[in-house]
Structure 1
Amino acid sequence: MNKRRRLRTTSSLKSYPEKSAVFRNHSAPEKEPDWEIALSGDLGEKETDLVSRLVDLPRGSRGTIFFDSPGGSVYAGLTLASLIRLRNLNVAGVALGECSSAAILPFAACKHRFVTSYTTLLFHPVRWQSEDDVRFEEAVEWARHFKVMETDFDRLQAQLFGVDQILLDKWTRPGKFVSGQELADAGLAQLIDPFSQEDQWKLIEAR
């Protein structure tokens, strides 16, 4: 009877357990840490730095923006809010001290919003301020554009907060200082207590 010979082959591959360990190490990259940005002071003065930082962030990444700003340029507020949404950033906006005027727009654009009972937000109509000398014709055009911008700003603010514009109009005209507690009671933010014995950061992380 003919005996079948078994063919022996050699291979440079290592044993299966070793290979799987290598594959596991490469297939599970470490999670990127959450980023943090402080938005403080006048938006117009900080706009260049803030825009650069938001653009440099990975699209769709997760992080926290701490707010303490009296506002400033409406266009700066609109730019920051637009970048947050366009780049699909998963942002927790935390208003610590003041978050007023134009700073409210990027705060409203945050996916998750947190306030303290000491937070202050000043809602008011868009203000027109110019230190330049303008001709009469230019002033007329500014007035026309200002009216359009005021209407659009109010509508967008209500859209970002996800609330009926009637509520915001009660705060905006003629203008009102709204506390963090009031904003939380209206369902537009979550109240946290940074001076509590409990770790409030866990609430922000669990968003």
Structure 2
Amino acid sequence: MSREQDERIPEIALCGDLTEHESELTDRLLDVEPGGECLIYFDSPGGSPYCAMSLMTLIKLRGLRATGIVTGECSSAALWPFAACAKRLVTPCSVLLFHPMRWQSEENVGLAEAAEWARHFGQLEKDMDVLLAGLFGSTIEQMDKWINPGRYVGGPELAAAGLAELVTFDRLGDLSYLLAPAPSVNGKAHGAAKVKARA
């Protein structure tokens, strides 16, 4: 891959709170042509689960061949768009926080509305846990170990679990290496494993 080809690949920084930057991030993803390549840098503590689902859906819906690299933190809701990347890279210092979904509502919410929100959120949490495992090509059991009650997972541990590729700092300057096709894990590309929903 020539330097000219490298420079044409869109680079997107997914940094800070997802919710605060959702419009900008959506526009940046839509700027990538369907089926095109892009490089997404992750350093985010998360945000709204709905925002996470939207960004993840755009990546998958448009068939983006995204390479995601965790340059700092990729936690909470930021895990979904990262897991949607065709190739996932982490460094020895990358940090990812898996935890149960958190929610809050407006102060003036009626009892019936609060009860419905709690029901909806409980189902959403289960569905998103299954989805996250499927995107990573992992198992529900593996996700449960990290999500409940909540665990920080370092880059080396995520790579050891086969969910990303560990890139040492001396390789970070080689963009052609970073954008090479995703390696297979146990004979399958990232995210190729089938996941069964919990009962």
Question: Who is 2:64 aligned against?
Answer: 89
More strand by share: 2
Count the aligned residue pairs: 177
Question: Who is 1:141 aligned against?
Answer: 116
Distance in 2 (alpha carbons) for counterparts of 1:40 and 1:198: 19
Larger CA Rg, structure 1 vs 2: 1
Question: Who is 1:206 aligned against?
Answer: 180
Higher relative contact order (CA closer than 8 Å, sequence separation 6+):
2
Distance in 1 (alpha carbons) for counterparts of 2:111 and 2:80: 31
Question: What SS does the aligned partner of 1:82 have?
Answer: helix
Unaligned stretches of 5+ residues in structure 2: 182-199
Question: Who is 1:107 aligned against?
Answer: 82
TM-score by length of 1: 0.81
Question: Who is 2:194 aligned against?
Answer: none
Residue identity opposite 1:51 in structure 2: T
CA contact (8 A) 2:32 2:38 kept: no
Residue identity opposite 1:201 in structure 2: L
Deviations 1:81-109 (A, max 9, x none): 00000000000000110000000000000
Aligned partner (choices 191, 195, 199) of residue 166 of structure 2:
191
**Structure 1 residue 178 corresponds to structure 2 residue 153:** yes
Residue identity opposite 1:148 in structure 2: Q
Instruction: Write out the 4+ residue segments of structure 1 that deviate beyond 3 Å after TM superposition.
Output: 197-200
CA contact (8 A) 1:43 1:72 kept: yes
Q: Percent identity?
A: 51
- Give how far 1:197 is off: 7.0
TM-score by length of 2: 0.85
